[in-house]
Chain A
């Protein structure tokens, strides 16, 4: 109560701050409101039933789910390594892991082509050895998604591992536990909030992924066309469909935000 009184005692908020703040808020809110208003709700359910939308939804769900699983299986050990093992080049590796966070997704796609494309360094060897090529397959979609999502996961889990501290690892060692047992029974359970948050972040990033995917995997209905790619395509032929599809993704995104509300939406 007393803080409210003293806040008023300081005078009215200056217009120089209120006006830009209102503009910023409008910029964030108005497009979302107009998207909801412009959604052709009459055909909403019908749109969901078209084959293209069903395929894209299915592929998006599949790709984001597999991406999260790959992030957890590979990213957790990487986060542990970064948080717990002192090896030469550790800070360099951490910086490298963070690069995809700031990399334009199209650049990520081009980078993936140079590595895993038909004539890429690794992709070429793979093709020569097995005849298998990765680009323009669902696998390519998952790889692109994992590339852009993994940093969110790894940094979140590494932060949690650092926060829970090494003391419990030490205690486990004095009780005779080897490092694997310690990881399984102590380190990982204590880092679980970070694992969950990282998984949700990775999933959300994967859900909206467009640039790297379309560059590396293309936009083929049924195999590589995810929801964002379908929206991009629909926008050029039928904007109404694009709005409907966008509405679907908006609903999913808000659901994620709701799931995370305890973590980011509570005011300090």
Chain B
């Protein structure tokens, strides 16, 4: 059920991976050259394991093929896979300058010192941090360090670029600026990029394709628009702020703004009304977002005035309802 919506093997060269790491991952990933794939999913879904398996840092069963060359049969060492890895904590070499960090991959692949330094300087310039070339990582801000880390991964022109939560731990403003920059660099990058993120915004702004991982399996693959409009997992539904109800192979989704909250049982179809207890009420934009433990758990956005009028505090029993016209219905069988 997991991946039948996947496109057939891409005609252009790219990534064909079929990976199993016992208990943690069982995923098939296809991506064409130049494609940016965002991998999203809750904690423990296997996102980082997927990246580490592709890099060869964990030994998976299955196969990885990049641009028609197998990385698994025979197995290739990490250093012989032409990849770039951007780690969550940057992991810049603390004893090397920003320039030497970026030049490192080129030097270890046999580029001579002067040429490596020139290329590295060029990459720092592309990220607008050329003047920081001689600084050590300890003297860089979080955003600057992440730019160096991305430049370091891209400098040797890898076939496969793996980014593990590249914006985690950065201030919101810094992350936003860097996201825009990264979008530009990924657009001109002709390799395959896999971006692990827990942020729907990353997936929507950077990716051509979104892969949703759930419990180590691919739960959904599609364009960012498709995945966000018709989520198939609670996790993605929550990320994009939708309610999703699954009945066998049919999903029904609706916005929390479309939900009406009342204290008495509303009129209308039983399919579109639920009873439950308010679990939490928190400001969300100019509304108040309620989480209700109905079956299934739903979110509803109500006005602050209604919140006060109906006494919508945690513990309150409420009825939720939604107009049939506000519900989008889609099937697992259609993409």
Contacts and interface: CB of A to CB of B under 8 A. Distances in A.
A177 interface: yes
Interface of B: 55, 57, 77-80, 82-85, 87, 91, 93-95, 104-105, 107-109, 152-153, 156
Contacts of A18: none
Residue among B57, B79, B85, B107 with most chain A CB within 10 A? B79
A172 B95 CA distance: 13
Given A173-B78, A175-B156, A176-B80, 4 more contacts: A174-B79, A176-B109, A178-B79, A181-B108
Interface in A142-200: 167-168, 170-178, 181, 185-186, 189-190
Contacts of A177: 79, 104-105, 108
B24 to A, nearest CB: 18
Nearest to B83: A174
B77 A173 contact: yes
B17 to A, nearest CB: 17
B16 to A, nearest CB: 21
Contacts of A168: 91, 93
Given A181-B108, A185-B104, A173 B94 contact: no
Contacts of A173: 77-79
B93 A171 contact: yes
19 contacts: A167-B91, A168-B91, A168-B93, A170-B78, A171-B87, A171-B91, A171-B93, A173-B78, A174-B83, A174-B85, A175-B84, A175-B104, A175-B105, A175-B156, A176-B80, A176-B108, A176-B156, A178-B108, A185-B104
Nearest to B90: A171
Contacts of B85: 171, 174
* Size bracket of the A interface: 10 to 19
B44 to A, nearest CB: 21
A263 B91 CA distance: 26
A178 B77 CA distance: 10
Contacts of B91: 167-168, 170-171
Given A171-B87, A177-B108, A190 B94 contact: yes
A177 B107 CA distance: 8
B252 to A, nearest CB: 43
A160 to B, nearest CB: 13
B92 to A, nearest CB: 8
Contact of A175 (B57, B94, B95, B152): B152
A185 B105 CA distance: 12
Nearest to A192: B95
Contacts of B93: 168, 171-172, 186, 190
A171 to B, nearest CB: 5
B15 to A, nearest CB: 16
Nearest to B108: A177
B76 to A, nearest CB: 11
Nearest to A173: B78
Rank and list the top 7 A-B pairs by shortest CB-CB distance, nearest first.
Answer: A175-B105, A177-B108, A174-B85, A173-B78, A176-B108, A176-B109, A189-B95
A90 to B, nearest CB: 20
A178 B104 CA distance: 12
A175 B77 CA distance: 12
A190 B107 CA distance: 19
A167 B152 CA distance: 16
A173 B55 CA distance: 10
Nearest to B89: A167
Contacts of B109: 176
A223 B107 CA distance: 48
A184 to B, nearest CB: 11
